[in-house]
Amino acid sequence: MQATLLTAEHQTFRETLRAFIRKEILPHIDRWEKDNQIDKSIWKKMGDMGFLGLNYPEAYGGLDLDFYYSMIFCEELSYCYSGGFTISALVIQYMSAPYLLKYASEELKQRYLTGVIAGDLVSAVAITEPGAGSDIQHIKTTAVREGDYYIVNGSKTFITNGYYGDFFITAVKTDPSKKSKGISLLLIDRNTPGVSAHKINKMGWHASDTAELGFDQVKVPVSHLIGEEGAGFGYLMGGLQLERLTAAIQSISTADSALQYTLAYIDKREAFGKKLMDFQVLRHRIAQMVADIATTKAFVYHCCDLQQRGDYAVQECSIAKLQSSELAIKIVHECLQLFGGYGFTEDYKISRLYRDVRVGTIIGGTSEIMREIIAKTAIDKVNYHTKKE
Beta bridge partners of 185: 171, 226
Beta strands in the chain (DSSP E): 123-126, 142-146, 149-160, 167-173, 183-189, 195-199, 210-221, 225-226, 270-271, 274-275
Q: Determine whether 58 is an active site residue.
A: no
Sequential DSSP letters for 248-291: HHHHHHHHHHHHHHHHHHHTT-EETTEEGGG-HHHHHHHHHHHH
Q: Is 148 exposed, middle or buried (0-12, 13-18, 19+ CB in 10 A)?
A: exposed
Question: Given 75, 129, 229, 243, which residue is catalytic?
Answer: 243
Q: Is 282 exposed, middle or buried (0-12, 13-18, 19+ CB in 10 A)?
A: middle
Catalytic residues: 243
